[in-house]
Structure formats: C-alpha cells, structure tokens
Amino acid sequence: MTPSHCASQAQVNVWRSVGDVASFHPSSVVGKQDRRAVNGCTACEVRETSFCGALQKDELGALARIHKRSELQADASLFYEGDPADSIATVTSGLVRLVKLLADGRRQVLRFVAPGEYFGFNISETFGYSAESVIPSIVCQFPISGLERICGIYPDLQWRLFVLARQELDRQQEHIVLLGRNSIPERLAAFLLHWASIENGADASRRPLMLPMRRADVADYLGTTVETVARTLTHFRRQQLISLPSCNMVVFRDFDRLCALAQGENGTC
C-alpha cells in the first residue's frame, strides 16, 4: 500500500468512471497502464477474495456486463449520504471510508473498506452514509436490480451475497461492542490490531503498520476526538507498546500486551 502524506490532502469531490453499465465489456481495451481493465474481471486483483471468486465463466460474464468501475483520487466521494442506494460495491484497490454526518457536523466513520471487501448492502432506498476514498482507489459497483436478475439465473451467487451481508453484520456487531463497552485505549488497541491483521495478515506482529487515514478518521471511527487519539498513541509509545517512526506508521514493540489491552485487561493503561 502506498503511504499517504501527513498533510496536504485537499478535499476533492470528483470521480472518474471507467467503463459504465451499458458500454463496459470484459474484453474491451482501456489505457495501457491499467492492466486490470484489459482483461476485465478475469484479471481483477481481488478476484480470489471476492464473491466473484467462485464464479463460473458465464456468471462472471453476466456480472462483468452490469458492473461499473470507478477510479477515485484521494478524498473523492463515490456517492453521498442521501443518494439512491441502488448498487453494491467492492473496493479493488486503495481504501474507502463510509461516513455518516450528523446535522450539527458530528461525524461517524462507519467502516474502512479494504480491497476485496464489500459495501452498500443496506436496504434503505437511499444511502445513510457517503463513501469516500482515503487514498486513490478503484471501486467496482454492481446495480442491485442487475444482481437480482442474475441471482435468478445463478442461485448460489445469491447465497454468496447473503453470506457477505452476514459477514458485514458480524463486523458491525464488533463495532457496536467496541463503541458501547470499551475504553478509548482499548478501542484504539483493537483498531490497530484489526487493521494490522487486514494489512499484514499473519505477519501483523512483525511488520510495521501503515495507517493511510488521518487521525480525524480514526477518531470518528472510534467515537472520540483527534486529540484523544494522538494522546493515546503517545501513551502507547511511552509504555513501549508501539513506536511511531512517522505519524502514519506504527511499529509494534509489545504485540501481546497490546492484544491484552484490546481484550479489556487494564483498560485505562
């Protein structure tokens, strides 16, 4: 993953769509620097982890025909809160945050969507949140109407969608417990560990962790403030739990103790 810069992330709400619902076809050739588009879904880098992964050739073709691919620059919006919720999306590269804004400006980050993960399963007619790229990202959208039609033809595609929605329920449930019953240090520890396992998998404890999002994003994800996030990170550093070579890089110095903290042992540090 490309490390982002601490500063200078201008708010730009522009997105470019590459191929749309009508014209896109897996075999159509797009710009040379974008190998993914050349072979369409077949060469998609998250194909193994996606619901498309287990598809037969004809199913994949049907999906490819309805999908819409968007390239987002950093801090661009794919859609806004209130837009018609007519499609399910997956991130193929980059990182997307789902953000709910309250009337008085308070902000809740509902989720960071990593490559291979899905979002937009909500049932409401309009999205209850906006989807914004944290870093330059590529997103693939599938219209619900098209999915429903294809699901009629390929029943187990539908079951896979059901499974994805249910995975999302588990994720949200963890988030609820985190916000409802964990102290801020616990929340931050859990966040770092969760994020590390997504980024680095089994190597999470050894590899340095890049945090592409801003402090404000972390704070709004954890239900707290930038200041508290900064303070708690400093606290972790002083306790030798982590070190911070730069503000976007976390090196784990005592992974086990951080795990214990995330599990709720000595929640005040």
CB of 199 to a second copy, least distance (A): 22
Separation between Cα atoms, residue 21 and residue 163, nearest integer Å: 25
Q: Could you tell me the smallest distance in angstroms from the CB atom of residue 160 to DNA?
A: 36
Taking the C-alpha atoms of residue 129 and residue 79, their distance in angstroms, rounded to an integer, is 8
Least distance (Å) between residue 72 CB and DNA? 17
Orientation angle between helical segments 184-200 and 226-238, nearest 10 degrees: 80
Site stretch for DNA (CB under 7 A), options 59-67, 158-166, 199-207, 212-220: 212-220
Residue 170 to residue 121: CA distance in whole angstroms: 13
Measured from the CB of residue 260, what is the shortest distance to a second copy in angstroms? 10
170 to 199, contacts with a second copy by CB under 8 A?
170, 172-177, 179-181
Rounded Cα distance between 2 and 176, Å, is 30
Q: What are phi and psi of 100, to 5 degrees?
A: -110, 125
Residues whose CB falls within 8 Å of the CB of residue 23, separated by 6 or more in sequence, listed in order: none
What residue ranges bind a second copy (CB under 8 A)? 100, 102-104, 106-108, 110, 121-124, 128-129, 148, 151-152, 155, 158-159, 161-163, 165-170, 172-177, 179-181, 220-223, 263-265
Q: Where on the chain is the footprint of DNA (CB under 7 A)?
A: 5-10, 183-185, 214-216, 223-231, 233-234, 244, 247-248, 268
